[in-house]
Amino acid sequence: MGETGLIVSRLCFGTLTLSPLQAALPPEEGAELLSEAYSNGINFWDTAELYANYDSLRLAIKKIGKLPVLTTKTYAYTREGARSSLEKARRELDLDVIPIFLLHEQESSLTLQGHKEALDFFCEAKVRGIISAVGISCHTVAAVRAALQFEEIDVVHPIINYKGIGIKDGTIDEMLEATERIAAAGIGVYGMKPLGGGHLLADVEKAIHFVKNIEHLHSFAIGIASSEELEADLHYFRGTKPPRAIEEKLAGKKRRLQIEDWCAGCGACVQSCPQGALYLEETAGAGQLRAAVKASRCILCGYCGSSCPEFCLKIF
């Protein structure tokens, strides 16, 4: 993984799918799936404080008896916020050292500068041996380019898929140019959303082939929510066909954002959506606002669900 010294599998287990924001698997089930992935060579797991699934990862680590390369993320921007996030991760994962800690959803050099206090704290924790590598996750080309301005950054986690779905400020060609530059500078790069948040499921073989063949991409995270999905992803990654029964089962699974009828139209989700996919519309004949989604822009991240005070947004 760049110059971090960390050795990671090219396929990374994206655990957002296990979380209450999506499949909401019980911790024991999530741990079993993570353990199964590890036994198949996937030693790289991606999570975040937002995902609220540290229990699953802690149980999985205890089950396998080894420490995978694990990334977590935080929205903290102050020293105290960063300290709180780090101690929460260490406590709830039952780990002394967090392999990779990222600042979540950075957008530009300006955003990074606004989070410099937290970045500096994580770098100090790295010197003390509590964190192995520091970096950012992002949905923008600008943030990838900004990583070269901050020598503290070891790892970048950007959106990469063949259609560029979810990239907020450019094309996939621009993103690849930027990631190739930072990789050449020794920064670790692992992509997210290779399946475009589910929009590329009809072309899953093409989508995985695309990211697998980007030479400067050290790894890429795919969300996995079941043993069938894990088996299928492993087949696609290895260039083989999954069993027909698994393909047929997964082909019938269409992921979507559901907005429940009790939405109060407060707009909190609209403000939190990183893709600008949510908006408020007037309920026909009622004169009341409620949330609605532009499906073409939604990447099914589920982040909106954590902002809803009425718990009415879920990924199914």
**Mean per-residue pLDDT of the chain:** 93
What's the pLDDT score for residue 199?
83
Q: What is the DSSP letter of 228?
A: H
CA-nearest of 250, 251, 269, 249 to 259 is 269
**Residues near 193 by beta carbon (within 8 Å), at least 6 away in sequence:** 159, 160, 161, 165, 166, 299
Predicted confidence (pLDDT) at residue 223 exceeds the cutoff of 90: yes
User: Alpha helix locations (H) across 79-140?
Assistant: 79-93, 109-114, 116-127
Confidence of residue 278 (pLDDT cuts 50, 70, 90): very high
Predicted confidence (pLDDT) at residue 75 exceeds the cutoff of 90: yes
Q: Could you tell me the residue ranges of all domains in the chain?
A: 11-251, 257-315
Distances from the Cα of 301 to the Cαs of 53, 70, 193, 297, in angstroms?
15, 19, 9, 11
Classify residue 42 by burial, with Cβ atoms within 10 Å: 0-12, 13-18, 19+: buried
Predicted confidence (pLDDT) at residue 311 exceeds the cutoff of 80: no
Q: What's the CA gap between 185 and 183, in Å, rounded?
A: 5
What is the assigned CATH class of domain 257-315?
alpha beta
What is residue 227's three-state secondary structure?
A: helix
Distances from the Cα of 141 to the Cαs of 164, 181, 264, in angstroms?
11, 12, 35
In this predicted model, what pLDDT tens digit does every residue of 33-60 receive, in sequence order? 999 999 999 999 999 999 999 999 999 9
- Residue 177 main-chain phi, psi, to 5 deg: -65, -40
Extract the tokens encoding 85. Answer: 């996030």
Q: What is the DSSP letter of 50?
A: G
What is the Cα 162 distance to its own chain's centre?
17
Q: What's the CA gap between 8 and 215, in Å, rounded?
A: 14
Q: What's the CA gap between 314 and 295, in Å, rounded?
A: 14
In this predicted model, what pLDDT tens digit does every residue of 147-206 receive, in sequence order? 999 999 999 999 999 999 999 999 999 999 999 999 999 999 999 999 998 888 889 999
Q: Which residues pair with 157 in a beta bridge?
A: 137
Tell me the average pLDDT across 255-282. 87
In this predicted model, what pLDDT tens digit does every residue of 248-262 receive, in sequence order? 888 766 677 888 878
What is the assigned CATH class of domain 11-251?
alpha beta
pTM: 0.90
**Residues near 55 by beta carbon (within 8 Å), at least 6 away in sequence:** 27, 30, 92
Classify residue 108 by burial, with Cβ atoms within 10 Å: 0-12, 13-18, 19+: middle
**Residues near 56 by beta carbon (within 8 Å), at least 6 away in sequence:** 15, 18, 25, 27, 29, 30, 31, 34
Distances from the Cα of 118 to the Cαs of 73, 101, 150, 187, in angstroms?
12, 11, 13, 19
What's the pLDDT score for residue 252?
65
CA-nearest of 237, 208, 2 to 100 is 2
Q: Which of 21-30, 92-101, 271-280, 288-297 has the highest mean pLDDT?
A: 92-101
